[in-house]
Amino acid sequence: MLYGDGNNRPRETKAFKKLALDADSQGGEAAWVAEKSWAHVTLNSITDAVLTTDMHGRVTYLNRVAEALIGWSRVEAAGKPVEDILSMVDSHTYQTMVNPAIRAMIEDRAQGFVLGAVLIHRDGSQREIESSAVPVHNLSGMIVGAVVVFHDACQSHIRSAQFAYQAQHDPLTSLPNRFLFADRLARAVGLAKRHQHKMALIYLDMDHFKAINDTFGHALGDRYLQIVAERLSGCIRTTDTVCRQGGDEFVVLLSEIESVKSALNVASKILTALATPCQLAGHEHTFSASIGVSIYPDHSTDEQALLHYADLAMYCAKQNGRQQCRLYLAEMEERQS
């Protein structure tokens, strides 16, 4: 109930204050429950395993990934010593390792990723893991527990390999990109110098590709480039390299050739392979390209110069009717200047 205080203003009774406090308390509890629920959902959504302990090193929480990796459910593991649940040995010595949660609390600092650790699953099976841990503090700064994050090292290695592959290959054609090609070209030039043999670059630009893209759309244009990549790869040896330089341009590195004629024969083989008709979106299409060729050491011993000369020869082929191959000549440079 509310009563006036003489100034026509209501004043609170003890009962009203209690109701207000109860409402605040219920609201705070509801917010805490909601926050805790969101935390559980978040931890169960990530791909890493997460384990938490109290200040005595007893397990307080496992997310689903952690349950799968160690073989214990969250309910079963709760209250047990973390060393019994997250059992780790050194991969080289097979000696028991200090648990990262315990180390984090003893040293009162974050533990970076530990490599070379083997996790002993509940069923006795083993797998290499990478783990890290941090101590947890309360508002007073006291340590109240620890959080351990870990994952299967094999999966980590696979992801690293995937990232490395993606960084070096064209996503559309899966051919080496210009970064990987630059590395292979440098190595090929180095070997050619050391063993004193010839090598060649074949630079291709697809004829009328823009018209195909504009007429039939980018999806068909992408498929067109994929077919070109497949046909180019079928024209070379395993020791050679085909690179998508960008757009509709490709470069072929012939790492070792006997003569200039050998390189021109490969270029001719490429033109023939590309000319074979294929069906795309219900239409028959043929491929044609303008090709330029440069030779090491005949034209240059410098990687960038060889690439430039092959590009220049390709441009001359395009200017002189397309669907043909041109070998670099010094006079081509003079025509451009």
Query: Coil, helix or strand for 93?
Result: coil
Residue 205 annotated as catalytic: no
Are residues 238 and 255 in contact, defined by beta-carbon separation less than 8 angstroms? Answer: no
- The C-alpha atoms of residue 189 and residue 84 are separated, in whole angstroms, by 57
CA-to-CA distance for 128 and 155, rounded, in angstroms? 10
**By mean pLDDT, which of 50-64, 149-163, 177-191, 200-214 is the weakest?**
149-163
Cβ contacts of 93 within 8 Å, gap of 6 or more: none
Please, how many CA atoms are within 13 Å of residue 50, restricted to the half-sphere of its CB?
A: 15
User: What CA–CA distances, in Å, run from 102 to 58, 65, 105, 136?
Assistant: 10, 21, 5, 12
Catalytic, out of 170, 240, 248, 311: 248
**Residue 302 pLDDT level (bands cut at 50, 70, 90):** very high
- Cβ contact 201:252 at 8 Å: yes
Whether this prediction's pTM lies above 0.85 is answered by: no
Q: To the nearest whole number, what is the mean pLDDT of the chain? A: 86
Q: pLDDT tens digit string along 32-71?
A: 445 555 566 667 667 899 999 999 999 999 999 999 999 9
**If you average pLDDT over residues 169-174, what whole number do you get?**
94
Could you tell me which CATH number the domain at 44-158 has?
Answer: 3.30.450.20
Choice between 335 and 337, residue whose per-residue pLDDT is larger = 335
Sequence ranges of the domains in the chain: 44-158, 169-336
**Whether CATH 3.90.226.10 fits 169-336:** no
Tokens encoding 113: 């990723």
For residue 134, give the nearest of 50, 37, 47 by alpha carbon: 50
* pLDDT category of residue 312 using cuts at 50, 70 and 90: very high
pLDDT at 162 (0 to 100):
79
Q: What share of the chain is helix, strand, coil (3-state, %, to 5)?
A: 45, 30, 25
Rounded Cα–Cα distance for residues 128 and 198 (Å): 47
Per-residue confidence band for 217, with pLDDT thresholds at 50, 70 and 90: confident
114 pLDDT higher than 80: no
